[in-house]
């Protein structure tokens, strides 16, 4: 069993605004093993992007403990050691704004090399070209191009090359292909999978596309309004979804074959609007939209329980299973 590379315990990230406190991430716990692809799924307001942004150091957590390679990250995420900055990297969601429009691709990829003084000056060109070749972009063509002149898929490849420039061990991929077409998405995902093998990378993969997740992740966690509702190994997650929200989400995905239609949960159809994270209802945050809501759901927030090995769910329909004697 490969060792744990990241452990998150009770992570919280609240934003304090004039309109109220936004509980973007509220008591989230999970752990990721080395070399795996851990999937995080959710809709807008779920907090999945905030989780990634906090882990990589854009925000300081409001609470909770996080351990990377068994070392605590402390409370100050934004001022972390240079080593950590090299080890944990991120590929952002929107290729359009993740590359500086006034920099050439060479400059964009060079930045991490400069900051961390990787390689003497004269060898950097070679390394940048290598990185571009690794993401299948011919260096001669792309080194001096500007982001506006290349397509979305190519921009994401540049972002990936940039993320890998420091030889990281952990990469957060925040919806890396959501803005892209299906055929380009396939290319990039395949590339990411090859790179993972070749460079021994661990991925935190975030997407709202469940079909993609089905084929990418080894384990999936689904988030709703800042909390994780269900975590399970991928196959179980899709074949035996427990939480009503998981089932609602799965039943909404557009699929292209009858065979896939058959795999979708039947009874639950989506209804209601996603509430704003400022106005989280009391009790279970999902109860307003839940067709299986009970009285207890309006009062008490459920806790995570392990139903099968490795399959956790947070719902009053699934109380703590009876302990075997």
Partner 1 sequence: MSKKDSSNTVIYTKKINISKGWYKFSRNLLSVLGLTTLIIIILAAVFAPYITPYPKHAGPYTNFRESSQPPSLKHPFGTDTIGRDVFSRVIFGYRFSLLLAVVVISLSVPPGILLGLIAGYTRKRWLEIGIMRVTDVFLAVPPLVLALAITAMLSPKLLNQMMAISLMWWPWYCRLVYSVTSSLRHEYFVHDAELTGAPKGFILTRVILPNCVGPVLTKITLDMGFVIILGASLSFIGLGVQPPRPGLGTMVADGAKRLPAEWWMTIFPALAIVLVILSFNLIGDGLHDMFAVEEI
Partner 2 sequence: MRTETPLLAIKDLHVQFKIFEGVLKVLNGINLTIYEGEKVGLVGETGCGKTTTIKSVLRVLPSPPAKITGGEIFYRGRDVLKMRPREIPGLRRGEISAIFQDPLTSLNPVFTVGHQLGDIIKHSLRQQGTEGVSKKEIQSCAAALLKETGMPDPERILKSYPVQLSGGMRQRVCISEALRITVKLLLADEPTTNLDVTIQDQILRRLDELVEKRRTSILLITHSLGVVRNLTHRVYIMYAGNIVETAGTRDLFDDPLHPYTKGLLKTVPKLTGEGLSEGIQGRIPNYLDPPSGCRFHPRCDSAMEICIQETPPFFSPGNNHEVACWLFRR
List of residues contacting partner 2 (CB under 8 A): 43-44, 151-152, 180-187, 189-190, 193, 208-212, 214-216, 234-235, 238, 248-249, 251-257, 259-260, 263-264, 269-274, 276
Starting at the edge strand that comes first in sequence, how are the strands of the sheet with 170-174 ordered? 88-91, 170-174, 202-207, 37-42, 219-224, 227-233, 311-313, 305-308
* Stretch in the footprint of partner 1 (CB under 8 A) among 32-40, 90-98, 189-197, 229-237: 90-98
The answer to the question of residue 24 lying near partner 1 (CB under 8 A) is no
- The closest of 85, 56, 68 to 9, measured between CA atoms, is 68
CA atoms of 260 and 256, how far apart (whole Å):
7
If the CB atoms of residues 165 and 173 are measured against partner 2, the closer one turns out to be: 173
* Ranges of H-type helices in the chain: 48-56, 82-87, 95-98, 105-115, 121-134, 139-142, 152-164, 182-199, 210-216, 234-239, 244-252, 258-263
Helix axes 121-134, 152-164, angle to 10 degrees: 130
The binder of 67, among partner 2, partner 1, none, by C-beta within 5 to 8 A per type, is none
Q: How far is the CB of 57 from partner 1 (least distance, A)?
A: 6
CA atoms of 232 and 240, how far apart (whole Å):
9
If the CB atoms of residues 116 and 124 are measured against partner 1, the closer one turns out to be: 116
Helix (H/G/I), strand (E/B), else coil: 11? strand
If the CB atoms of residues 78 and 183 are measured against partner 1, the closer one turns out to be: 78
The answer to the question of residue 99 lying near partner 1 (CB under 8 A) is yes
CA atoms of 236 and 228, how far apart (whole Å):
16
Residue 192 Cα distances to 35, 126, 156, 172, 319, angstroms: 13, 22, 11, 12, 38
Q: Report residue 65 as tokens.
A: 């403990």
CA atoms of 239 and 247, how far apart (whole Å):
10
The answer to the question of residue 60 lying near partner 1 (CB under 8 A) is no
The answer to the question of residue 296 lying near partner 1 (CB under 8 A) is no
The binder of 72, among partner 1, partner 2, none, by C-beta within 5 to 8 A per type, is none
If the CB atoms of residues 73 and 242 are measured against partner 2, the closer one turns out to be: 242
**Among residues 12, 14, 57, 184, which is the contact residue for partner 1, using CB under 8 A?**
57
Q: How far is the CB of 163 from partner 2 (least distance, A)?
A: 21
**Among residues 33, 146, 265, 304, which is the contact residue for partner 1, using CB under 8 A?**
146
If the CB atoms of residues 98 and 285 are measured against partner 1, the closer one turns out to be: 98
If the CB atoms of residues 32 and 213 are measured against partner 2, the closer one turns out to be: 213
The answer to the question of residue 101 lying near partner 1 (CB under 8 A) is yes
CA atoms of 264 and 255, how far apart (whole Å):
9
**Among residues 20, 31, 44, 111, which is the contact residue for partner 1, using CB under 8 A?**
111
DSSP letter (8 states) at residue 289: G
The answer to the question of residue 138 lying near partner 1 (CB under 8 A) is yes
The binder of 320, among partner 1, partner 2, none, by C-beta within 5 to 8 A per type, is none
The answer to the question of residue 181 lying near partner 1 (CB under 8 A) is no
């Amino acid at each position: 069993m490969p060792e744990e590379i990241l452990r998150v315990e009770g992570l919280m990230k609240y934003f304090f605004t004039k309109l109220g406190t936004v509980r973007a991430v509220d008591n989230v716990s999970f752990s990721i093993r080395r070399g795996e692809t851990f999937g995080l799924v959710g809709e807008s307001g779920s907090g999945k992007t905030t989780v990634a942004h906090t882990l990589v150091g854009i925000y300081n957590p409001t609470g909770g403990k996080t351990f990377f390679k068994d070392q605590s990250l402390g409370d100050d995420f934004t001022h972390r050691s240079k080593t950590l900055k090299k080890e944990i990297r991120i590929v952002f969601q929107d290729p359009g704004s993740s590359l500086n429009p006034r920099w050439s691709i060479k400059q964009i990829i060079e930045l991490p090399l400069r900051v961390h003084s990787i390689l003497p000056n004269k060898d950097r060109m070679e390394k940048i070209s290598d990185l571009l070749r690794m993401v299948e972009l011919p260096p001669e063509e792309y080194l001096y191009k500007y982001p506006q002149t290349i397509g979305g898929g190519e921009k994401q490849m540049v972002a990936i090359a940039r993320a890998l420039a420091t030889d990281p061990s952990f990469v957060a991929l925040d919806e890396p292909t959501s803005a892209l077409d299906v055929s380009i998405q396939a290319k990039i995902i395949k590339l990411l999978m090859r790179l993972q093998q070749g460079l021994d990378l661990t991925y935190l993969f975030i997407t709202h596309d469940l079909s993609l997740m089905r084929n990418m992740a080894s384990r999936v966690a689904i988030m709703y309004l800042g909390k994780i509702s269900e975590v399970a190994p991928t196959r179980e997650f899709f074949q035996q979804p427990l939480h009503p929200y998981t089932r609602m989400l799965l039943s909404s995905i557009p699929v292209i074959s009858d065979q896939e239609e058959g795999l979708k949960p039947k009874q639950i159809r989506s209804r209601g609007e996603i509430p704003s994270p400022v106005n989280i209802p009391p009790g279970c945050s999902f109860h307003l939209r839940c067709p299986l809501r009970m009285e207890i759901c309006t009062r008490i927030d459920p806790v995570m329980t392990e139903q099968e090995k490795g399959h956790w769910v947070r719902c009053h329909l699934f109380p703590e299973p009876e302990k075997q004697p």
